[in-house]
Amino acid sequence: MSITIYDIAEKAGFSIATVSRVFNDNPRVSEATRTSILSAAEELGYQPHASARSLARRQTETISAIIPMISNYFFAEVLKGLQDRMGKSPYDLLVFSAPDLEDVEGLLFKALHRGRSAGVMLFSAPMSEETVQRLQKSGQPVVLVDSFHNRFDSISTNNLVGGAMAADFIIASGATRPAVLAANPNSVPARDRLAGFRKRLSEERIELTVENILYSKQQVFDGFNEQSGYDGMKELLAHDQRPDAVFATSDIQALGALKALREAGVDVPAEIQLIGFDDLSIARYVGLSTIRQPMHEIGAGAFDLLMARIESRNTPVAHTIYAPSLIERQTTRTFELVL
């Protein structure tokens, strides 16, 4: 049976990526590590040839990313952070784009069986038991982005806290009839944002009625789209008693909601306040108050987490959770112009 770089990695006690870097003369490898790996290769009788080196490079220096709704503004921002951090590394990024969450499982299967990569990033996907087992059986380093499971490294924003922050801000403004424009209830981030918002209101004995929680009827981007916010706001405006403050679970929904408000001649924020979630760059130009999550940092941090896992398989699972922050602009009443 032929010896492979996987056998050498096991014998030398290093990751496959590190073994690959040694055979490709990568300067990032220390002399001690290089000597140890080459000694293991010699003991096993490994003789690399040109085609084997090329194959090893292709396999171990590729990172697979499964990203639902890649043209969604949030994922575009996170992906930019990831690519900026990867720029000086020897790794290439192979992206599998899912139109919606229902397609993630199929693409994950495809990514794991297309050819062994150095590691896998899974973005914003619900972690079913089938998904967990599939990732574990693959044996590949895994990082969850904008998601969580206790068996895998992960990086995300604290969406529960973000939802509570939006509620605190609305409460402080004196609003008494809050409403929520929620995305698809299967979306973990949207679900957590709503839960944090609802819990905080309940603690202050402010009622969030069932009629004022509008889940997206749009399937595109799992409800994180302009049309979802536009349709939801039109429905809220048709209520006998309009809300006086609306929390949208994403900025892109808030933009659609803002269009509906302006078409209806509603004074924002005097009549209805509006707050989003994300702090997309476009939010600054329309004066949208929002809960900021550090999207660029999430992308860069995801790469760092994966590199750490590739280099050391046996360290404890790591979870990076960013704290959101409030950005006040013109769509809420407490806005003060800062020159």
Are domains 5-57 and 159-293 of this chain identical in fold?
no
62, amino acid identity? T
pLDDT grade, residue 260 (50/70/90)? very high
Q: What is the pLDDT of residues 120-163, one digit of tens each?
A: 999 988 888 888 998 888 888 999 999 999 999 999 999 999 99
What stretches of 135-270 adopt beta strand conformation (E)? 142-145, 153-157, 178-182, 213-215, 245-248
Residues 256-283: what's their mean pLDDT? 97
What stretches of the chain adopt beta strand conformation (E)? 62-68, 92-98, 119-123, 142-145, 153-157, 178-182, 213-215, 245-248, 273-278, 289-292, 319-322, 325-327
Residues 244-261: what's their mean pLDDT? 97
pLDDT, mean over the chain: 87
CA–CA dist 65, 80 (Å, integer): 13
What token pair was written down for 329?
A: 């602009």
Q: 159-293 has which CATH code?
A: 3.40.50.2300
CATH of 5-57, one of 1.10.760.10, 1.10.260.40, 3.50.50.60, 1.10.3720.10: 1.10.260.40
CA–CA dist 85, 3 (Å, integer): 34
State how far the alpha carbon of 141 is from the alpha carbons of 6, 186, 246, 323, in Å: 14, 26, 40, 25
Share of the chain above pLDDT 70, in %: 86
- pLDDT of 266 reads 98
Q: What is the pLDDT of residues 172-220, one digit of tens each?
A: 999 999 999 999 887 888 999 999 999 999 999 999 999 999 998 866 6
Nearest CA to 327 out of 273, 296, 290 is that of 290
Share of the chain above pLDDT 90, in %: 53
- pLDDT of 134 reads 87
- pLDDT of 237 reads 97
Note the pTM of the prediction, 2 decimals.
0.78
């995300």: which residue's tokens? 156
Question: How is the chain split into domains, by residue range?
Answer: 5-57, 159-293
- pLDDT of 233 reads 98
Window from 125-129, 154-158, 302-306, 330-334 with minimum mean pLDDT: 125-129
Residues 48-77: what's their mean pLDDT? 67
Nearest CA to 25 out of 90, 88, 81 is that of 90
